[in-house]
Structure 1
């Protein structure tokens, strides 16, 4: 996990075969499940979410 949204949910990466995948995923604390976000990698997430004004 690398970020949280202040509501108990997290953003992070899936790991397969001991490799961290590039796609950003979202963990919903209510459903206790990971979901796809549509961000193909960290920089697209940062550009749209963290660096937007």
Structure 2
């Protein structure tokens, strides 16, 4: 999932360089959403992984 976030960030940067503001904004929004989902899943996996004794 982190790979998708990096892909959309790169897409947003390239679109911004060429002047496609709407596409850049959309790709950046998707990248933000995917990054936050990744963080939530990371925290959940860390919490559930520590319960094993």
What's the TM-score once normalised by structure 1's chain length? 0.28
User: Greater helix percent: which structure?
Assistant: 2
Bigger relative contact order, structure 1 or 2 (CA pairs below 8 A, ≥6 apart)? 2
